[in-house]
Structure 1
Amino acid sequence: MEVPTGLSAKLCSFLSFLPFFFLLFILGILKAALVGPVVVGIILIGNSAVILGLWTAHFVWTYYCVVKTKKLGPVLKAVLLVSLPVPLALWPVFGIVGSLLGGVGYGFFVPLLATFEAVGENVTDKLYHCFLDGCWSTIKGGCMVVQDFTDFCFHSYFSYMDELIETVLPDEKPMDIKLSKLPSCLLASLIGVPVDMLLITTVALWKSPCMLFKGWKRLLEDLIGREGPFLERVCVPFAGLAIILWPLAVVGGVIGAIVSSFFLGLYSGVIVHQEGSLHLGLAYIVAVVSLFDEYVNDLLALREGSCLPRPKYRRNMSPSSERKKLGDNHIVNSKNGRDNPCTSKLISEKSRTMKWTIQQYKPMQVWDWLCKSCEVNGRILLRDGLITHEDIEECILRGNCKKLGIQLPAWSILQCLLESAKSNSSGLVISDGVELTRVNGPRDKVFEWFIEPLLIMKEQIKGLQLDENEEICLRELVMRGRNEKPEEWDDTEFASSDNVRRAQLQSIIRRQQGIVASMSRIPTFRRRFRNLVKVLYIEAIQNGASANHIGGILEARYGSKKWIQDEDRNNGDEGERSTYDNGNVV
């Protein structure tokens, strides 16, 4: 890619870019003006109907579960029962307002971005796609947002509540707070919330002009000089869009700081309970403002540290733990324990370009891999008889997908762990030629919570050194065994009689199923898993006589087997189909 050099070349490149950019921008605005109100109406009306329709059930069931649970002590339970009416009463307000803002953002920005994506180098017939991309797909996306939100309110919420009222182990102690510390905790929170909200909001507003102009300066340098992420020509239009929309990012950062300040102030009550001192809770209220100021300074590459006071708020807090390490580019001088500002600034300036040299996988890519892996493995299990037509019938007709929804993803994850352990990979081998490690993995905290335990389990499996017979039997036990006690494997064909070895493997399986149970509460999981079950249904029909029972029931209920294609069109999931190469996910 040829990059313009010299002032005249850069100026000519910039001037030739302007008409092209403004035409795309005006077209995107017109598409957003036509599509946006429709999407806002769909999301606002749909989500509001779900919120208001289920509000009474959520209110009653929340109180019932809090009263019935044995995981909470009497004092904490009493505090929750008294304070629950406030968040439950505010939930419809925040839910409806959030749906309105989310609908406006989704309905406006998706058509606008789709207009710029249509001029990509790999897109054919660019003129056609510039006018049509982001119109109908955005409307279908709005419908999927309502569907996922409905799944969350119907499935995820009640799943969390069911977990709250589960039977506790005899040696498990309930979570509780000491009654003597409660007044001090409440006092610290009542002081911390208004003070921290005021001070952190002030710091955020004070630093926002710096964030605005430094961001504009960097984006303009990248646009004119074609450096950093805008080196490729196809990214240049997005550079102009980023410059125009950067003030919205600054406003979003300030709003995020204001919202987070509420919870930071509220956390002062937790400090008081943990440390047993009101004085330390008040010290945290002051210190957290300094920590926030230092975080903003590091983010904007300003002066080192903060000029605001930072008293100790932990009894055992060492000097090194007072300062949080922000990112992988945090350089510390080993002699005096202080940052090297020159080195930090150098890495900060180059960090954008350096990140583009590493293939960084996004959370959605990992999510796609799991869904595609479940589809491939589901066909294998259906062929081998580990998934039966009764399981598919139970999931499609009665909505009971506990076996398919938990054990099938757990089986797919086990396959990944076994292959990763045998290949001596430092991470997870998620498909042919693709390895997920701590370096290229998603920086999303939610996915880190899922991936880190899997890396630990992979090392445990590697240390057990399973033979081929044990692996084959283990795959079947994941789908059919209870896997709670070592003695439950006595009647199976598992090769080893070592109860310690069995207990270790059963623990790994239970942890996998627990991870999958948590993943099943993510709204998009249920929608995508329903599409997976439809694929397995088609596979069962193609297998012949064994699927006649399902086919007869579904035809009687839905009238025709075309309901699958109709559902796919309604859900707009054609883009989520799997691609195969000799049975492997690609």
Structure 2
Amino acid sequence: MQPPRGFLASLLNFICFLPYFIGLLILGFIKGIILCPLVCLIVPVGNSAVILGLWLVHLFYTYYCIWSTKQLGPVLKLVLCPVVLVLLIYWPVIGILGSVLGGAAYGFFSPMLATFKAVGGGKTDQFFHCIYDGTCDTVKGSFTVVRDFRDVCYYSYFSIMDDLRLQGPSAGKYYEIRLLYLPGALIAGVLGVMVDLCIISIIAICKSPYMLFKGWHRLFHDCIGREGPFLETICVPFAGLAILLWPLAVAGAVLGSMVSSIFLGAYAAVVVYQESSFWLGLCYIAASLSIYDEYSNDILDMPEGSCFPRPQYRQKTSSVISSRAASFSRPQSFKNPPSHSSSFSAHMVELKSLELVDALLKECQRQGEIMVSEGIITLKDIEDAKSNKDSGKMISIGLPAYCILQALLRSAKANSAGILLKDNVTEITSTNRPKDAFFDWFLNPLLIIKEQIKAEKLSEAEELYLGKLVLLSGDPEKLKNSDIGAPPESELRRAELDALARRLQGITRSISRYPTFRRRFDSSMKTIFEELASKNGESNIPAGPQTVPRSRSMFARMFSQKSFNTRTSNHGSDQEAQPVVERDVEII
């Protein structure tokens, strides 16, 4: 859609758009006012019940894991005990207050945004969707928020603490704290918080009027000329809403600067402890003011530099520190911003994080159905996974890790620069990946593992061995009782495959701790459970060829009953599998 050209056309377009936008805003505001009290009742009550119900369990289990772990030294454990107690005491207050504020924001803004989205979503009956959208979905979403919060407090928390308790010290040395420099670090941290909170708050308040009028100037200019966020029709309601809510954004930026100044100043304690120098901690306090001033100037497109001094607070100036310091100077993107038209001209596949997670879970469901048909997944495995037992990790951890491994193997064989998804059509790389911290933490390690697999040049037998190792490593008993095939003859090769399997298991375990994952995984596993229940209930299975997924023959080689129980020594002369009728299945 091309923006109107000329002052009269732009003014006429703005006059016609304004009543339309105000009507939608009033409708969304009314829906938000009606639903906000209900959501404020559901989310805080549900989250408060979870917090208070698990508080004693969190208290005792946290101290049990801290004293049981071998990663921490005795002095560090003594220091952590009072700190953890303070955090646990304030956790119910912070959690309940955050639930009230988050529930109010969600209950008010979700219906409003759904009202605007109903207009630009290409729906047939837009009048009905303007009224209905954001009502039932918001109420259901509030229950989903409580469910995800419960999963984080119950499953994710205990998974993290189990890793702390069971894992040994890295490189054979546990973490310890030096008590000699602890008082100086605490004093520097308190001074840093006091100085930075005071001065950074003054700087943020002084720059807030400039941010307010500069943002309004840009938004009104784009609104009249239909440029920037107003270029696309679906973005117009949200951009118009941004004009009204821009003062709140400025106030939030000032509040965020005040909160961030606490952590920025407290980092002086880390500098004193790392550099073993109280003077360098004071130098950092002065330099932190300059760092914030220069960074805020870059964000607001103000002149470079700062009136505050920036002394050196590190004894050893490495190239990494110099590059990080240079990153606060104004980048070229601020000096020469891209044009508005070019941002929409280049076609680029945009990947969304939730879509990728759903794709992984669909692949887990597909592979799980195959394993059910092969008898690999049993009813006991699913029940153990539901009850969060260690024997159920073959499904909750091993199955997603196995699906990720298959994607990495396909990508390595195709010599892809990223990770191939959806039957070698869609590729996720460092350029088109979702701009979420989730993918910053996990995409690069997976790309490294893919390059390692490519460099190893695994044979088919090694791929099968690695796949079964990844799948069954979460269930030590089944791994011990199962013949997973002949391992490589070289001990170095076996150690490399074991390390790859452990890394994939660890990455998958970390992914499973994030909100919404367990809920989505349980939903995808319901289909497997239903298929397994129907399979156990069938008395007569019709003979003849059956319709099975494309990779059935691979699973027949990997997980046949012979593979587990009576594998012969001459596994090089396997019998040919029975012919099956294949159907096309979308592979992720």
Name the TM-score class by shorter chain: 0.7 to 0.9
Distance in structure 1 (CA, Å) of the matches to 2:396 and 2:482 = 27
For 1:77, the equivalent position in structure 2 comes to: 77
For 1:378, the equivalent position in structure 2 comes to: 368
C-alpha contact 1:540 1:547 (8 A) present in aligned 2: no
**3-state SS of 1:429 partner:** strand
C-alpha contact 2:398 2:473 (8 A) present in aligned 1: no
For 1:426, the equivalent position in structure 2 comes to: 417
Q: Show CA shifts across 1:231-265 (max 9, x none).
A: 22232222211211222222222222222222222
For 2:545, the equivalent position in structure 1 comes to: none
Asked if 1:504 corresponds to 2:496, the answer is: yes
How far residue 106 of structure 1 moved from its aligned partner, in angstroms, is: 0.6
Moved more, 355-364 or 253-262: 355-364
User: Using a 3 Å threshold, how does the CA distance of structure 1 residues 184 and 137 change in structure 2: closer, same or farther?
Assistant: same
Query: Which residue identity lines up with residue 402 of structure 2 in the other structure?
Result: W
Distance in structure 2 (CA, Å) of the matches to 1:436 and 1:245 = 35
1:36-55 equivalent positions in 2, closer than 5 A: 36-55=36-55
User: Using a 3 Å threshold, how does the CA distance of structure 1 residues 459 and 86 change in structure 2: closer, same or farther?
Assistant: same
For 2:510, the equivalent position in structure 1 comes to: 518
Moved more, 108-117 or 53-62: 53-62
Asked if 1:219 corresponds to 2:197, the answer is: no
Distance in structure 2 (CA, Å) of the matches to 1:205 and 1:176 = 41
How far residue 31 of structure 1 moved from its aligned partner, in angstroms, is: 0.5
Q: Show CA shifts across 1:372-409 (max 9, x none).
A: 22222222232333322321232346766422110011
Distance in structure 2 (CA, Å) of the matches to 1:259 and 1:177 = 27
User: Using a 3 Å threshold, how does the CA distance of structure 1 residues 393 and 320 change in structure 2: closer, same or farther?
Assistant: closer
Q: Show CA shifts across 1:525-574 (max 9, x none).
A: 221111122111122234454799xxxxxxxxxxxxxxxxxxxxxxxxxx
How far residue 495 of structure 1 moved from its aligned partner, in angstroms, is: 7.0
For 1:252, the equivalent position in structure 2 comes to: 252
Distance in structure 1 (CA, Å) of the matches to 2:290 and 2:203 = 10
For 1:290, the equivalent position in structure 2 comes to: 290
Moved more, 535-544 or 91-100: 535-544
Structure 2: state its 5+ residue gaps.
541-582
**3-state SS of 2:431 partner:** coil
C-alpha contact 1:540 1:546 (8 A) present in aligned 2: no
2:397 to 406, 416, 422: 406
How far residue 67 of structure 1 moved from its aligned partner, in angstroms, is: 2.5
Distance in structure 2 (CA, Å) of the matches to 1:347 and 1:491 = 60
Distance in structure 2 (CA, Å) of the matches to 1:547 and 1:88 = 55
User: Using a 3 Å threshold, how does the CA distance of structure 1 residues 360 and 198 change in structure 2: closer, same or farther?
Assistant: farther
User: Using a 3 Å threshold, how does the CA distance of structure 1 residues 533 and 34 change in structure 2: closer, same or farther?
Assistant: same
How far residue 365 of structure 1 moved from its aligned partner, in angstroms, is: 2.8
2:432 to 434, 440, 446: 440
**3-state SS of 1:323 partner:** helix
How far residue 167 of structure 1 moved from its aligned partner, in angstroms, is: 4.8
User: Using a 3 Å threshold, how does the CA distance of structure 1 residues 213 and 363 change in structure 2: closer, same or farther?
Assistant: farther
User: Using a 3 Å threshold, how does the CA distance of structure 1 residues 215 and 380 change in structure 2: closer, same or farther?
Assistant: farther
Asked if 1:175 corresponds to 2:175, the answer is: yes
Query: Which residue identity lines up with residue 281 of structure 1 in the other structure?
Result: G
For 1:127, the equivalent position in structure 2 comes to: 127
**3-state SS of 1:347 partner:** coil
Distance in structure 1 (CA, Å) of the matches to 2:483 and 2:294 = 61
Q: Show CA shifts across 1:328-353 (max 9, x none).
A: x934xxxxxxxxxxx74213666993
Query: Which residue identity lines up with residue 237 of structure 2 in the other structure?
Result: P
For 1:528, the equivalent position in structure 2 comes to: 520
Query: Which residue identity lines up with residue 327 of structure 2 in the other structure?
Result: K
For 1:275, the equivalent position in structure 2 comes to: 275
User: Using a 3 Å threshold, how does the CA distance of structure 1 residues 275 and 222 change in structure 2: closer, same or farther?
Assistant: same
Distance in structure 1 (CA, Å) of the matches to 2:250 and 2:346 = 24
Structure 1: state its 5+ residue gaps.
332-342, 549-580
Distance in structure 2 (CA, Å) of the matches to 1:348 and 1:191 = 42
User: Using a 3 Å threshold, how does the CA distance of structure 1 residues 76 and 169 change in structure 2: closer, same or farther?
Assistant: closer
Distance in structure 1 (CA, Å) of the matches to 2:475 and 2:309 = 54
Distance in structure 1 (CA, Å) of the matches to 2:101 and 2:501 = 41
User: Using a 3 Å threshold, how does the CA distance of structure 1 residues 48 and 533 change in structure 2: closer, same or farther?
Assistant: same
User: Using a 3 Å threshold, how does the CA distance of structure 1 residues 526 and 164 change in structure 2: closer, same or farther?
Assistant: same
For 1:325, the equivalent position in structure 2 comes to: 327
Query: Which residue identity lines up with residue 298 of structure 1 in the other structure?
Result: D
User: Using a 3 Å threshold, how does the CA distance of structure 1 residues 505 and 488 change in structure 2: closer, same or farther?
Assistant: farther
How far residue 315 of structure 1 moved from its aligned partner, in angstroms, is: 0.9
**3-state SS of 1:435 partner:** strand
For 2:447, the equivalent position in structure 1 comes to: 455
State the percentage of identical aligned residues.
Answer: 48
User: Using a 3 Å threshold, how does the CA distance of structure 1 residues 73 and 47 change in structure 2: closer, same or farther?
Assistant: same
C-alpha contact 2:294 2:328 (8 A) present in aligned 1: no
Asked if 1:20 corresponds to 2:12, the answer is: no
Distance in structure 1 (CA, Å) of the matches to 2:47 and 2:227 = 43
How far residue 54 of structure 1 moved from its aligned partner, in angstroms, is: 2.0
For 1:555, the equivalent position in structure 2 comes to: none
Query: Which residue identity lines up with residue 439 of structure 2 in the other structure?
Result: F
C-alpha contact 1:483 1:506 (8 A) present in aligned 2: no
How far residue 119 of structure 1 moved from its aligned partner, in angstroms, is: 0.6
C-alpha contact 2:291 2:328 (8 A) present in aligned 1: no
C-alpha contact 1:520 1:526 (8 A) present in aligned 2: yes
How far residue 37 of structure 1 moved from its aligned partner, in angstroms, is: 0.8
C-alpha contact 2:394 2:475 (8 A) present in aligned 1: no
The alignment's TM-score, normalised by the length of structure 1, stands at: 0.86
How far residue 286 of structure 1 moved from its aligned partner, in angstroms, is: 1.6
C-alpha contact 1:111 1:134 (8 A) present in aligned 2: yes
For 2:152, the equivalent position in structure 1 comes to: 152
C-alpha contact 1:389 1:547 (8 A) present in aligned 2: no
Distance in structure 2 (CA, Å) of the matches to 1:498 and 1:344 = 55
Q: Show CA shifts across 1:65-96 (max 9, x none).
A: 22332211222222112333322211111111
For 2:240, the equivalent position in structure 1 comes to: 240
User: Using a 3 Å threshold, how does the CA distance of structure 1 residues 212 and 582 change in structure 2: closer, same or farther?
Assistant: farther
Distance in structure 2 (CA, Å) of the matches to 1:510 and 1:189 = 39
How far residue 322 of structure 1 moved from its aligned partner, in angstroms, is: 5.5
Q: Show CA shifts across 1:14-57 (max 9, x none).
A: 00001110110000001101111100110111111222222222
For 1:566, the equivalent position in structure 2 comes to: none
CA RMSD of aligned residues (A): 2.8
Asked if 1:368 corresponds to 2:358, the answer is: yes
Distance in structure 2 (CA, Å) of the matches to 1:57 and 1:356 = 53
Distance in structure 2 (CA, Å) of the matches to 1:192 and 1:326 = 20
C-alpha contact 2:364 2:400 (8 A) present in aligned 1: yes
Distance in structure 1 (CA, Å) of the matches to 2:179 and 2:64 = 23
Distance in structure 2 (CA, Å) of the matches to 1:41 and 1:482 = 40
How far residue 356 of structure 1 moved from its aligned partner, in angstroms, is: 7.6
How far residue 582 of structure 1 moved from its aligned partner, in angstroms, is: 3.7
C-alpha contact 2:419 2:428 (8 A) present in aligned 1: yes
Distance in structure 2 (CA, Å) of the matches to 1:350 and 1:391 = 54
C-alpha contact 1:177 1:273 (8 A) present in aligned 2: no
Asked if 1:345 corresponds to 2:335, the answer is: yes
User: Using a 3 Å threshold, how does the CA distance of structure 1 residues 212 and 354 change in structure 2: closer, same or farther?
Assistant: farther
C-alpha contact 2:394 2:473 (8 A) present in aligned 1: no
Distance in structure 2 (CA, Å) of the matches to 1:158 and 1:19 = 53
For 2:547, the equivalent position in structure 1 comes to: none
Moved more, 111-120 or 303-312: 303-312
C-alpha contact 1:185 1:272 (8 A) present in aligned 2: yes
Distance in structure 2 (CA, Å) of the matches to 1:528 and 1:190 = 44
Moved more, 300-309 or 265-274: 300-309
User: Using a 3 Å threshold, how does the CA distance of structure 1 residues 547 and 515 change in structure 2: closer, same or farther?
Assistant: farther
1:560-571 equivalent positions in 2, closer than 5 A: none
